[in-house]
Chains A and B, each alone.
Chain A
Amino acid sequence: MRLDSGNLPDLARGCAVLGTGGGGDPEIGLLMSLQAVEEHGPVAVVDLDELPDDGLVMPCGGLGAPTVSIEKFGNGAEGSRLREYVERLWGKPVVALMSSEIGGSNGLVPVAWAAGLGLPVVDADGMGRAFPEMQQAAMEIAGVSPNPAVMTDERGNTLVIETVGGRWIERVMRAVAVEFGARASSSEYQMTVAQARTATVRGTVSLAVRIGELIRTASDDPVGQLVTQLRGYRLIDGKVVDVERRTTGGFARGRATIEGVGGDAGRSLELEIQNENLVARSSDRVVASVPDLITVIDAHAATTVTTERLRYGQRVSVIAFPCDPIWRTPRGVDLAGPRAFGYDFDYVPVEELRAGT
């Protein structure tokens, strides 16, 4: 598959669905990648099985405040600087770029960089969705080291960071990003192709394109088709009747209540939000939670409703679908299960929760 002006809008729609309400507005990433493929030509999407075992894969993306990235969206040369440092540090060439995070804007930014570098992107990413913190990555679960992390800004300031692992990567990089003006570009968890085959969430770029295409072309009931495609569940068709927001510790938290309409009349669903949609409850019972994916779809436009755009009166469908199995390992649940976000309950896969209803 090649990414060009024809299917990049589909990729953006798919990245929004996999962003589970967060991950930043894919619109900026879409415009960046459209400009890059116009200037440099399309980007090849390659499967990890097609690349040499010892080839170097470079995960990358942006970090910072979404409000800042709509003003200061970047120079375009950040990707080439990251590659230059990564190649120097590893002493070998990068064979392909990879999105650190497919959900939201970061699913598209590496495509723009890859176009400029003439490199392919792999059909995989580091999360299979969006998460707020750097170490919430499949590579961390698989034991890949985040070192050496490289971080750069649009001016050319560049840092190579070695941390002792765990949350340190997140803490150090977040602090530096604020100094850079609350927006930075980075690469971490570089690995060989052989490692990447088991340490990433595979097939997510082509999945996002398929999701976007399905939403664009579905003549009726795009939500139903989406649920089938993602082997997920339609939690409720309803109307947003309450949205409550607060910002604590640098994260936007909140809660939304959706009241059922039509066949779901009489039921209601509560969504708990921390940048992304984290937990769905019905009658005080958890019906889906992180690391499984929960996405709110606008019933009229079939577009993804991001957490900051949720508001009273919207007609929506809430869907939930299973995360990649790597997140269901004990280490995965530790990193990104309900307890990692401060909830006092254990993770149960969405299929099991639904089987009980």
Chain B
Amino acid sequence: MPAPEVRIGLDVGGTNTDAVALDSNDVLLAKAKVTTTADVTGGIRAALASVLADLGPERSRVTHVMLGTTHATNAILERRGLDRVVLIRIGGPATHAIRPLFAWPQDLREAVSAGELIVEGGSEFDGREIMPLDLETVRRFLGGLGAGVDGVAIASVFAPVSAEHELRVGELVRAQLGDSVNVSLSHEIGTVGLLERENATVLNAALVGVARTVAGALAAALEEHGLRPQTFFAQNDGTLMALDFVLHHPVLTIGSGPANSIRGAAYLTGAGDAIVADVGGTSTDIGVLANGFPRESTTPAEIGGVRTNFRMPDLVAIALGGGSVVHDRDGVVAVGPDSVGHRLTERALVFGGDVATLTDAACAAGRARVGDPTIVAAQRATFEPALEAADAILADAIDRVKLVRGAQPLVVVGGGSVLVPDELPGVSEVQRPEHFDVANAIGAAIASVSGQVDRIFHPGSGGRQAAIDEACDEARRQAERAGASPGQTEIVEVEEIPLAYLTNPASRIRVKAVGPLGAF
């Protein structure tokens, strides 16, 4: 099996678009950082062009391109370019008390929804049918749909226990509406919690067009350079999806940025378990690297005002960055939350500006050396309380993301990482890897492919272990479908949560399998 030769990782963030090129030994060959453009694709083209120019003749060896992008998030936040979606909830009569999309912001609902239906059907927690599936009503509803429906989202009660009704309705939709309409099934998108899973499924169906556009633009940009590599998209658990998979699961790209920087930090330091701080100009995201992957949040994630329940990296975000403004309020020094942001290089004192920032404080103390540090050299004592305040905020946030007692290593990445001191309470060691400024693009480039199962199992005659084995096999198959090399997947996470208030034992089992990229 030939190893990939040169891989390009691209990460589109709110401020910058980063690109890196790595060889088959993961040695960094080139890197680029450009400003993210309003249309997003412009930044991708510029970053790609820069890296390819640096590669020179080596560029013909590019076999893989991995993209982490904020396209999907932006489309939802701006209600732009979204597909029109019909939602079929299979959950009558058990779920009429809260109708579909009830808690959605009005404008987002109007931009996305082309109709909603609740039909009888769905599963109980133990796999029995709530009611027989009413396909006839679905057939009539589909027959009455006008033009202008791009996608159909299907969500069934307890689909994570039994997806049968979703699959049957999916088949009917394809047979009746044809292949031009995309179909999203909730059991492939989210976990237990009907409303959140349904919301995520509708958002997924609404993003298929956006994913096609981005994939097309990336392919066209590569084509301009005569390249036809295999392309992958980064997802929010720090792993990759193959192109055909992302076209069916575009919502999973949301949150890939922080996941990439955590994975990049892991790769750059070789750490398996650590705290990772991505320090930017305005804010700092602190996450946890557990067993080589970002720890996932257990609380519902809100996207564009809509509650969803798919996996997102568990982060503590604080308003602290290189551009944070240092205030002196009657002798009491405070830092932020306001920031000069991307205008640091014109506004900060060390760059000849007139705003005292955290970067100036770091320069005065000798932690950072940017601009002209002599401008602030005499103000060391004045800035000392500002750094103390910033360090305290940081130490507090680090403590909040920890799940266990004891000191852990801290990996700092991102443009503002010089602000972080070498010693912090609760931190055993501060690691500052080389190429920390493009950690997220590196995270995309080195990522592997995953599959995940999260549903309720009823231990049968085989007992608990048989149920866990079944979940593991299913997670491996999912990883292979997403592009992992067959036979090389490994199980990286198993979690079993027994359900309360039940007399018959049942457990929610979460399993994740990860494997290296398959050969082509």
Query: Out of A34, A156, A181, which one reaches B124, CB within 8 Å?
Result: A181
A12, chain B: closest CB distance, angstroms: 13
User: Within residues 70 to 103 of chain A, which ones have a CB less than 8 A from any CB in chain B?
Assistant: 70-77
Report whether over half of chain B's contact residues are helix, strand or loop; otherwise say mixed.
Answer: loop
User: Which of A59-67, A197-205, A320-328 makes up part of the contact surface?
Assistant: A59-67
Q: Is the beta-carbon distance between A32 and B97 smaller than 8 angstroms?
A: yes
- Counting CB contacts under 8 A, is B99 at the interface? yes
Least Cβ–Cβ distance between B215 and chain A, in angstroms:
34
Kindly identify which residue among A34, A66, A309 contacts B299, using a CB–CB cutoff of 8 Å. A309
Tell me whether A31 and B192 are in contact (CB under 8 A): no
**B102: chain A residues within 8 A (beta carbon):** 31, 34-35
> Quick one: which of A36, A73, A155, A251 contacts B131, CB cutoff 8 A?
A155
| CB proximity of B396 to chain A, nearest CB, Å | 9
Over the window 229-269 of chain B, the binary record of Cβ atoms lying under 8 Å from chain A Cβ atoms (1 yes, 0 no) is: 00000000000000000000000000000000000000000
How far is it, in angstroms, between the C-alpha of A169 and the C-alpha of B375 when the chains are bound?
78
Contact of A35 among B99, B130, B456 (CB under 8 A): B99
Q: Determine if A168 is an interface residue (Cβ-Cβ < 8 Å).
A: no
**Chain B residue at smallest Cβ distance from A116:** B97
For window 239-287 of A, CB contacts with B under 8 Å fall at 239, 241-242, 247, 250-252, 275
**A209-217, A311-319, A343-351: which lies at the B interface?**
A311-319
B329 within 8 A of A: no
List residues of chain A with CB within 8 A of the CB of B407.
none
In the bound complex, do residue B157 and residue A71 qualify as a contact, i.e. CB atoms below 8 Å apart? yes
A81: min CB distance to chain B, Å: 12
* Contact between chains at B402 and A312 (CB < 8 Å): yes
Closest residue of chain A to B507, judged by CB? Answer: A247
* A73 adjacent to B125 (CB under 8 Å): no
Q: Which of A250, A252, A309 contacts B503 (CB 8 A)?
A: A250
B485-518 near A? 1/0 per residue, CB < 8 Å: 0000000000000111111100010000000000
- The contact of B93 among A35, A65, A75, A250, by CB within 8 Å, is A75
| Cβ contact within 8 Å between A247 and B503 | no
Query: How many contacts A-B (CB < 8 Å)?
Result: 122
A32–B98 CB distance below 8 A: yes
Contact B500 A74 (CB under 8 A): no
Cross-interface CB contact of A74 among B97, B192, B503, cutoff 8 Å: B97
For B501, the closest partner residue in chain A by CB is: A65
Is B400 at the interface (CB under 8 A from chain A)? yes
Chain B residues whose CB sits within 8 angstroms of the CB of A242 once the complex forms: 405
Are B195 and A31 interface neighbours, CB within 8 A?
A: yes
A250 engages B502 (CB within 8 Å): yes
Contact of A72 among B157, B456, B502 (CB under 8 A): B157
A172 CB-CB contact with B under 8 Å: no
B128: which A residues are within 8 A, CB to CB? 181
Residues of B within 8 Å of A68, CB to CB, are: 125
* Set A31, A252, A312: member contacting B500, Cβ < 8 A: A252
Cβ of A175 < 8 Å from any Cβ of B?
Answer: yes
Chain B 1-47 interface residues, beta-carbon cutoff 8 Å to A: none
Please, which residue of chain A has its CB at the minimum distance from the CB of B316?
A: A313
Please tell me which one of the listed residues B298, B299, B500 contacts residue A65 in the complex, with CB atoms under 8 A apart.
Answer: B500
Contact A67 B125 (CB under 8 A): yes
Which listed residue, A67, A239, A275, touches B499 by the CB 8 Å rule?
A67
Distance in Å: Cβ of A277 to nearest Cβ of chain B:
15
Number of chain B residues whose Cβ lies closer than 8 Å to a Cβ of chain A: 41
Asked if A70 and B193 sit within 8 Å, CB to CB, the answer is yes
Q: A66-B501, A72-B158 are in contact. Are A313 and B401 (CB under 8 A)?
A: yes
Q: CA separation between A174 and B97, bound complex, in Å?
A: 22
Q: Which residues of B contact A35 (CB under 8 A)?
A: 97-99, 102
Q: Is A18 an interface residue (CB 8 A)?
A: no
Q: A65-B502, A181-B128 are in contact. Are A75 and B95 (CB under 8 A)?
A: yes
Which residues of A have CB within 8 Å of B338? none
Are A74 and B502 within 8 A (Cβ)? no
Which residue of chain B has the shortest Cβ distance to A22 in the bound complex?
B500
- Residues from chain A with a CB closer than 8 A to the CB of B192 are 67, 70-71
Docked-complex contact B500 and A72, CB < 8 angstroms: no
A65-B125, A65-B499, A70-B193 in contact; A312/B404 too (CB < 8 A)? Answer: yes
A288 within 8 A of B: no
In the complex where A65-B125, A181-B128, A182-B125 touch, is A72 in contact with B91 (Cβ < 8 A)?
Answer: yes
Contact partners of B131 in chain A: CB under 8 A: 155
Q: Is the CB of A75 within 8 A of B401?
A: no
B96 in the interface, Cβ–Cβ < 8 Å? yes
Distance between Cα atoms of A329 and B255 in the complex (Å): 54
* Interface presence of B103 (CB below 8 A): yes
Q: Which residue of B lies closest to A178 (CB)?
A: B503
Chain A residues with Cβ below 8 Å from B103 are: 31
A182: chain B residues within 8 A (beta carbon)? 124-125, 501-502
Q: Is the pair B98, A31 in contact by a Cβ cutoff of 8 Å?
A: yes
Question: Which one of B126, B193, B501, B504 contacts A71 once the chains associate, using CB atoms below 8 Å?
Answer: B193
B399 at the interface (CB under 8 A from A): yes
Report yes or no: A75 in contact with B503, Cβ–Cβ below 8 A. no
Q: Known: A31-B195, A72-B157, A181-B130. Contact between A174 and B94, CB under 8 A?
A: no
Question: Is B200 part of the binding interface, using a Cβ–Cβ cutoff of 8 Å?
Answer: no
Residues in A with CB closer than 8 Å to B125 are: 65, 67-68, 71-72, 181-182
Taking the complex as formed, is B147 at the interface, i.e. its CB lies under 8 A from any CB of chain A? no
A227 CB, nearest partner CB in chain B, Å: 24
- Is B67 in the interface zone, CB < 8 Å from A? no
- Is A139's beta carbon under 8 Å from chain B? no
Question: Which listed residue (B95, B299, B404) contacts A73, Cβ 8 A?
Answer: B95
Judged by a CB distance under 8 angstroms, whether A11 is at the interface is no
Which residues of chain A have C-beta atoms less than 8 A from B502's C-beta? Answer: 65, 178, 182, 250
Q: Which residue in A32, A75, A311 is a CB contact (below 8 Å) of B94? A: A75
B403 at the A interface (CB under 8 A) = yes
Using known A-B contacts A65-B501, A65-B502, A252-B500, determine if residue A112 contacts B97 with beta carbons closer than 8 Å: yes
Do A66 and B503 form a contact, CB below 8 Å, given A31-B102, A73-B97, A312-B403? no
In the assembled complex, the CB of B184 is this many whole angstroms from the nearest CB of chain A, namely 18
- Over the window 146-188 of chain A, the binary record of Cβ atoms lying under 8 Å from chain B Cβ atoms (1 yes, 0 no) is 0000000011100000000000000000110010011000000
Complexed CA–CA distance, A181 and B95 (Å): 13
Binary contact track B53-96/A, C-beta < 8 Å → 1, others 0: 00000000000000000000000000000000000000101111
B93 touches A154 (CB 8 A): yes
Indicate if A48 sits at the interface (CB-CB under 8 A): no
Residue in chain A with minimal CB distance to B508:
A67
**In the complex, how many angstroms separate the beta carbon of A251 from the nearest chain B beta carbon?**
6
- Please tell me if B194 contacts chain A, counting CB pairs below 8 Å: yes
Q: How far is the CB of A357 from chain B (nearest CB, A)?
A: 27
Which among B98, B130, B195 has the highest number of chain A CB atoms within 10 Å? Answer: B98
Asked if A28 contacts B94 (CB within 8 A), the reply is: no
CB distance B95 to A241 under 8 Å?
no
Q: Using Cβ atoms and an 8 Å threshold, which residues of chain B touch A175?
A: 503
Q: Mark A36-59, 1 if CB is under 8 A from B, else 0.
A: 100000000000000000000000
Interface residues of A (CB under 8 A from B): 28, 31-32, 34-36, 64-68, 70-77, 112, 154-156, 174-175, 178, 181-182, 239, 241-242, 247, 250-252, 275, 309, 311-315
Give me the interface of B with A, judged by CB distance under 8 Å. 91, 93-99, 102-103, 122, 124-126, 128, 130-131, 157-158, 192-195, 298-299, 399-405, 456, 498-504, 508
Q: Across the A-B interface, give the 7 residue pairs with the lowest CB-CB distance, nearest first.
A: A76-B97, A181-B124, A65-B501, A247-B498, A154-B94, A252-B500, A74-B97
What would be 24 A-B contacts, judged by CB atoms less than 8 Å apart?
A31-B102, A31-B195, A34-B102, A66-B500, A67-B192, A67-B499, A67-B500, A70-B195, A71-B157, A72-B91, A72-B94, A74-B94, A155-B94, A174-B501, A181-B128, A182-B501, A309-B298, A309-B299, A311-B403, A312-B403, A313-B399, A313-B400, A313-B401, A313-B402
